[in-house]
Amino acid sequence: MPLAPEIKSFLEKQAAIGAPAVWQAPLSEIRANTQGRMVMSGPVEDFREIANRFIPGPTANLPIRIYRPTDNPAAPAIIHFHGGGFVLNYLDMYDASMARLANQSGFTIIGVSYQKAPEHPFPIPFDDCYATLIWVRDHALELKIDPHFIGVAGDSAGATLASAVAIKARDNGIELKFQLLIYPCNGRDFTTDSYITMATGYGLTTQAMQWFWEQYLQGSEHDLNPYAVPMSAEDFSHLAPAIIITAEFDPLLSDGQEYARRLGNAGVPVIYKEYDGMIHGFFTNMAVTPTSQIAIDYAAGELKKIKG
């Protein structure tokens, strides 16, 4: 299928702006440029409650945002890790999509602003995310969530962090009910089919992903650590059931396909959904494409099936 017309138009407009690639300008400028992405998210729909607070992390206090769609004193919960190549983005960019996902699913969502690379390389962002899981479990009564029905979610680098947290949770005997992975970048192999065929021209580029990974890992020392690179895990068995969503024109497509295959081969229940005509980032860009809302509602529906 070709690019969806609205996606083609979006890419043409972005190209006309001529913003520098992530490796072409100071990091402060690249981060400032992300402020313009807010308009892509769309308006935040009516919502019961969005609350902000700080929680203690391993090395710093961490901002969290709680999206509570219901008065249920024991709601199922999602811990969400945002994307941005381990380097960029912030909670405000996710208000519209998280509000929609919470409203449609009935799940309370807890998003965390973990510390970013390159100032805070691995394992700091990962440790922040795992510590958030532990804190949420320990404060379930206060958060009005069910401590026995918690899962993790994320998009792009956030999906990588969610995958890694799911692996460590399994390793430490913590049961997660699901992992919702939106176009994860779970491997560091840049010779996959999609990294080659979608290297440029579709928003996210292969060179950008190489740069992002280098900011996060800063060398090859951690390439075989599954908490850093989930695809490097030797054992995928007994991980939380996965919902994996990908985009047809995304350099990360092969990563999502391969991770779904490995989980499935290890006996993990996997729901895999690829959206034709879409590019990286579509899931949260409700002002760009109607497929964003469709995908969010699909994910919500699958989460409700898991809840039963």
Query: Which CATH number covers residue 118?
Result: 3.40.50.1820
Residue 158 scores a pLDDT above 90: yes
Question: pLDDT band at residue 152, thresholds of 50, 70 and 90?
Answer: very high
Query: What is the per-residue burial (b if ≥16 Cβ within 10 Å, else e) of 194-227?
Result: bbeebbeebbbbbebbebbbbbbbeeeebeebbb
Q: Which helix (H) or strand (E) holds 56?
A: strand 49-56
pTM of the full structure: 0.98
Residue 38 scores a pLDDT above 90: no
In the chain, the number of structural domains is 1
pLDDT at residue number 259:
98
User: Can you read off the two tokens belonging to residue 64?
Assistant: 């969290």
Residue 229 scores a pLDDT above 80: yes
Residue 265 scores a pLDDT above 90: yes
Q: Which helix (H) or strand (E) holds 243?
A: strand 242-249
Residue 59 scores a pLDDT above 80: yes
Q: How far apart are CA 202 and CA 200, in angstroms?
A: 6
Q: How far apart are CA 65 and CA 91, in angstroms?
A: 7
- Supply the mean pLDDT for the chain: 97
Per residue in 14-29, pLDDT tens? 999 988 999 999 999 9
* Cα angle for residues 117, 231, 66 (degrees, 5° grid): 55
156 catalytic, yes or no? Answer: yes
- The stretch 176-190 carries a mean pLDDT of 98
pLDDT at residue number 35:
82
Q: How far apart are CA 270 and CA 73, in angstroms?
A: 29
pLDDT at residue number 37:
82
* Neighbour tally for 148: CB within 10 Å: 11
Question: pLDDT band at residue 42, thresholds of 50, 70 and 90?
Answer: very high
Residue 255 scores a pLDDT above 90: yes
- The stretch 224-243 carries a mean pLDDT of 98
- The stretch 70-96 carries a mean pLDDT of 96
Question: pLDDT band at residue 51, thresholds of 50, 70 and 90?
Answer: very high
- The stretch 259-271 carries a mean pLDDT of 98
Nearest to 216 by CA among 206, 228, 224: 228
User: Can you read off the two tokens belonging to residue 167?
Assistant: 């692996």
CB 42 within 8 A of CB 96: yes
Q: How far apart are CA 226 and CA 19, in angstroms?
A: 34
Residue 139 scores a pLDDT above 80: yes
Residue 36 scores a pLDDT above 80: no
User: Can you read off the two tokens belonging to residue 59?
Assistant: 């090395």
Give 98's DSSP letter. Answer: H
Of the residues 97, 156, 163, 194, only one is catalytic, namely 156
Instruction: Note down the domain range covering 273.
Output: 5-307
Instruction: Name the β-bridge partners of 250.
Output: none
pLDDT at residue number 93:
95
Residue 305 scores a pLDDT above 90: yes
Of the residues 113, 128, 280, 292, only one is catalytic, namely 280
User: Can you read off the two tokens belonging to residue 114?
Assistant: 């973990």
232 catalytic, yes or no? Answer: no
Q: How far apart are CA 89 and CA 83, in angstroms?
A: 7
Of the residues 105, 250, 255, 292, only one is catalytic, namely 250
pLDDT at residue number 190:
98
146 catalytic, yes or no? Answer: no
pLDDT at residue number 14:
92
Per residue in 286-295, pLDDT tens? 999 999 999 9
